[in-house]
A and B are shown apart, each in its own frame.
Chain A
Amino acid sequence: MTLPSPVFRAVATCVVPEAGRLASAQWDEMEAIVARAIAARPRAVQRQLALFFILLEWLPLLRYARPLSRLDPARRTRFLDRLQRAPMLLLRRGFWGVRTLILMGYYGRPAVAGEIGYRADTRGWEARR
């Protein structure tokens, strides 16, 4: 499946607000990580994800009369917050999957370790002395 970039970025900036400050190359890096992860999943999972991205984009029409990618950030966040507590397991699970991919893309970038102060080193204690 191809990652639907506008919806993905709209959700990503709600899940990780700092993603809004990423440069184009950093977005590409993040999306490449996510695309690789999706490509490694079974076909059925890929199909479910593609469907869920469509659902994510159009479900807000019912409440806000706009698709997700055209909502302002506050409404988008409120919508996603409701989705993660939805009574239907299918919706909660779908959002959890997309959220996990976004977090993988953002926090899986090597540069992020320095940004958040994660310093694990293969040399262990020796690297701290």
Chain B
Amino acid sequence: MSASRSYDIVIIGSGAGGGTVAQELAPLVRDGVRILVLEKGPRFADQEFTGRELEMADALYQDGGAFLTRDGTMTLGFASAYGGSTVVYTGTSLTAPQRVIRAWGVPGLQHGDLTRRSAKYAEQNNAHLLDDPLINDNNRLFVEGGRKAGYLVEQFPVNVKGCRGSSLCNLGCPNQAKQGTNRVQLPRAERAGVEVVTRAEVLRIEPDRTMTVRVSQKAAATKGAPSEWAPGDYQVRARIVVAAAGAIGTSALLLRSRLPAPRSLGHGFTCHPALILVAEHPHPITNDVGHPKSYFVDHAESERFVLETCMYFPFVTAKSLTGLGATHSAIMHAFPRLQMILILACDHAAPGNRIAVNRTGSPIVHYRFTPETIDGLVRGTRAAARIFFAAGARRVHAPADPPLLETTDADHLEERVIARHFRPGMLAVSAAHLMGGCAMGRSAADSVTDGWGQVHGIPWLRVADASLFPDSLEINPYLTIMGLADRVAEGVRRDLAIARD
């Protein structure tokens, strides 16, 4: 028999969305409101962030970072941990572009309001521009090459405090410098009396507002603390439920729950499919030290791509290079001379690209690359190659045949880098900006929630994560998620006040 618990508010997930809602509602605890956060992943101790690639990927990411789309042509990266994916992002802090919010056309959602809310969290999480002495050669060359090649290069504000430049952000900061919800919002919420239970997966939400929650045991020789609750199944009842388990987690949870959710649930999935491009310089550069992602070029509106500086680890780098054999090995052995650029394609919601669940309730992501998305990757690759060559690289490794572009190819990129070499299954495309599935909109006929994250037809259920996005955001999403979550928290406070009155 499973144990029963009862709360006023249950928040499912502790990332950018869940962590924000927890902090914003925490003052209600003083008035006797009982708030619980359920997080599927564990709580890690500071010393457990070792920066070792496979060890950390296994501990932090769903399927060790190898969660595949249904047709196996793209990996999706998302974390399960106290702090959700904010534990593994690089902390790049941008607010939503006005044109994107306007194009979303969500009734009641104004760009100005969203920006104001996002800015609050940018300040709270110490988002700022890094000082020049902290910028490594990998980033500096991007700036130099980008400007020489005629691109507008912009600096990312990043939300770090005391960054030592380990370059290991995507494996969880070993120095606790990155100001994710695990460092800022969740500890504040807990200090105010919000209860956070880790290793607690919500299996279903019933129409009577009862959730079936499975608390798992910590396996031997694995990272993370045991759960705050004893392992086993629980029936948790709440007056208000906020689902913030990420685009995939929330959509899958609502799909396997017996709720009268709108028909578009799971649809409209987008993800900024990304390619890692590598170039070799004639001399060693500082690349695997320093914050990895400090600059970007935004061509989302005109050419459907964004370029960002990046630096990855040996295995991720190896799998991102196309081809095999001696050429591949030669590039890997040039690691100290490698410059890297991440190309993000700005995909748009397309019919068929959706989140579903299989017979056991596990998420399946259906995703097909549209010709426009492929075109974004092709154009982005050409632009990245131009930047590499302008920065002094002697060769660029890209999806081409053969995959090495020499300096003599610099003037022939239109012929060398073509869509034929970007067929799905031929290159390592991955995505970490997972969006959509519970889109905001006008009514149940066109969306899953309203502009305040309330699920149409289910007034006690709200969504507070990137699944709310009706379409691609075209920039790094965490501040927008926090801004939307802030609205969701406001909506919950309003509901509670009405209930009291």
Contact = CB atoms under 8 A, between A and B. Distances in A.
Contacts of A112: 314
Contacts of B66: 37, 41, 100
Interface string A34-58: 0001001110010000000000000
Interface stretch (A1-9, A60-68, A77-85): A77-85
Interface string B328-340: 1100110110000
A116 B426 contact: no
A11 to B, nearest CB: 9
B323 to A, nearest CB: 8
A110 B314 CA distance: 10
Interface in B321-352: 323-326, 328-329, 332-333, 335-336
B73 A89 contact: yes
B51 A100 contact: no
Contact of B324 (A37, A77, A117, A119): A77
Contact of B63 (A41, A116, A125, A127): A41
B132 to A, nearest CB: 13
Interface string B33-64: 00000000000000001111110001000011
Nearest to A15: B324
Nearest to A100: B319
Contacts of B64: 37, 40
Contact of A18 (B54, B329, B428): B329
B332 A116 contact: yes
The DSSP consensus for interface residues of chain A is: helix
B425 A96 contact: yes
Interface in A78-99: 80-81, 84-85, 89, 92-93, 96-97, 99
B324 A118 contact: no
B424 A120 contact: no
A108 B289 contact: no
The DSSP consensus for interface residues of chain B is: loop
A33 B318 CA distance: 16
B166 A120 contact: yes
B313 to A, nearest CB: 7
B282 to A, nearest CB: 15
B286 interface: yes
B325 A33 contact: no
B73 A104 contact: no
Contact of B289 (A14, A99, A100, A125): A125
Contacts of A14: 324-325
Contacts of A40: 58, 63-64
Contacts of B209: none
A100 B420 CA distance: 22
A84 B314 contact: no
A45 B425 CA distance: 16
Contacts of A126: 164
B174 interface: yes
B423 A92 contact: yes
Interface in B41-97: 49-54, 58, 63-64, 66, 68, 71-73
A45 B134 CA distance: 43
15 contacts: A14-B325, A15-B328, A16-B328, A42-B362, A81-B323, A92-B425, A100-B428, A103-B319, A104-B54, A107-B318, A107-B332, A116-B333, A116-B335, A122-B51, A124-B175
Going nearest first, the 5 A-B pairs with the smallest beta carbon separation are A124-B165, A92-B425, A124-B164, A122-B174, A120-B288
Given A37-B64, A100-B66, A124-B165, 6 more contacts: A84-B324, A93-B425, A96-B426, A107-B314, A115-B333, A118-B335
Interface of B: 49-54, 58, 63-64, 66, 68, 71-73, 134, 163-168, 174-175, 286, 288-290, 313-315, 317-319, 323-326, 328-329, 332-333, 335-336, 362, 423-426, 428
